Chains A and B, each alone.
Chain A
């Protein structure tokens, strides 16, 4: 199987992880066994990292607060920012950590049940870290789109049911 076909399998699974190997095989004109093998290969190679579900927790009625925290860090010889980043990303409430260009060095996305909880995390865990010089916290007020998913009412199919 070639790179193009691997990519097609990945794209299909990225859109819907529950697409079966049988369906994928039909969609791409491949054998079911080939697809199973390819998926296995992609999993072992760590290209498919895991399968997860996109959930609208708001709709479920669960309060979750998110915050973007920009962090200024003084880099260290040998490791740069990596060691500080690692200290931060090991906290389970940390969703994402990026090294970014601009005024700050790290951008951290943190979740919590309340704003207070996040404020405490920043004050007690993040800010006191060695070499962290400053933090700048922004709470998320509303989520419109995330990971390509739009969190609004889905638009209805406006087409007539039958047209020539």
Chain B
């Protein structure tokens, strides 16, 4: 038979598959490897979706998504970050940020175009770039700098083929929130070299002790930025598959072409749920954020006690400690911890080679389970340290 797609074939298989298969079979396994909230969607949101279905909201919507939802997102972004996007032609409702990323890359890239992003990074970035015919260019960040993006390294990575910089703050997997100043410099660099910015701000509401900086709000950014946002994390709505993309009209026009011919539109009941989330979800967002914050402080303190050093991350719901004291590589640590103590974590190297020597722990798990997991991790690490 003829060979399958070279582009797709070039993307390596998922790095967590083999751990997933083991953990999924294991009874009494505590997983700190989950990248989604442990809360179920707040009841008022679920209830609003049930109501919408009862009322017959079962049709397609505009390719752009419900106008009323776009209006609410637009008002929300203006109120929170002072950025203005017209609900008419500067935004579109996507099937999660996942689709937003895909169509952003397809709208921007020509074959061979390079996209720079900081590593460790969310696992979908390199494949999304590659599927769109581009070349992913990772720039490593350092544990000792709290994984802050390094502007000098970024500058060195820029070539004549560079088309865009892909940012993700608050970050998965490190939990890092880039400082306002550094982001400003990155925008300045993008302006200087005429690069697009794609900013995945899916964790924007989950920040602790700091303010979120919306990249599009920075001087010079708006005209070259695709802002991606979503409901999955802030409102515990991962299964609803709703996100949004905001950008200048000529970019949205390109994105909507891909979206309309491949997705048509996001599911209407989920869009109605998202409307409810924006309208009445504030208290629940804050309740969950506060709960994450308490777990975060506890887990950071305990990990450092155990010897798995980490600086306190300021966003999302991940910690990304160093496992150096055990002398193990990320995958060996993960595998041995799973078999010996039945605790699942994600090896840092799946987020790029600069994640080697780390593991990702998610604190989107109830406190008692986090406590028990830490207890087991402590026992595991103590044996390794002798």
Contact = CB atoms under 8 A, between A and B. Distances in A.
B297 A163 contact: no
Contact of A163 (B29, B36, B294): B36
Interface residues of B, number: 30
A4 to B, nearest CB: 11
A159 B365 CA distance: 11
20 contacts: A26-B302, A27-B295, A27-B298, A29-B297, A157-B38, A159-B36, A159-B38, A160-B34, A161-B20, A161-B23, A161-B24, A161-B29, A161-B33, A162-B16, A162-B23, A162-B33, A162-B34, A164-B14, A164-B346, A164-B350
Nearest to B209: A29
Interface string A107-127: 000000000000000000000
Considering residues A12, A29, A155, which has the most beta carbons from chain B within 10 angstroms of its beta carbon?
A29
A160 B36 CA distance: 9
A23 interface: yes
Contact of B298 (A26, A160, A163): A26
Contacts, number: 55
Interface string A137-164: 0000000000000000001010111111
B253 interface: no
A2 to B, nearest CB: 16
B344 A161 contact: yes
Given A26-B302, A27-B295, A28-B297, A162 B19 contact: yes
A163 B40 contact: no
Interface in A28-55: 28-29
Contacts of A159: 34, 36, 38
Residues of A contacting B: mostly: loop
Contacts of B122: 164
B146 interface: no
B31 interface: yes
B123 A164 contact: yes
Nearest to B123: A164
B281 interface: no
B146 to A, nearest CB: 17
A162 B344 contact: yes
Contacts of A160: 20, 24, 34
A75 B177 CA distance: 62
B42 interface: no
Contacts of A161: 20, 23-24, 29, 31, 33-34, 344
A160 B24 CA distance: 8
Nearest to A23: B298
A162 B295 contact: no
Q: Which of B16, B172, B297, B346 has the most CB of A within 10 A?
A: B297
Tell me which of B20, B294, B371 has the highest count of chain A C-beta atoms within 10 A of its own C-beta: B294
A163 B35 contact: yes
B297 A26 contact: yes
A157 B30 CA distance: 11
B119 to A, nearest CB: 14
A164 B35 contact: yes
**Residue of A16, A26, A28, A164 ringed by the most chain B CB atoms within 10 A:** A164
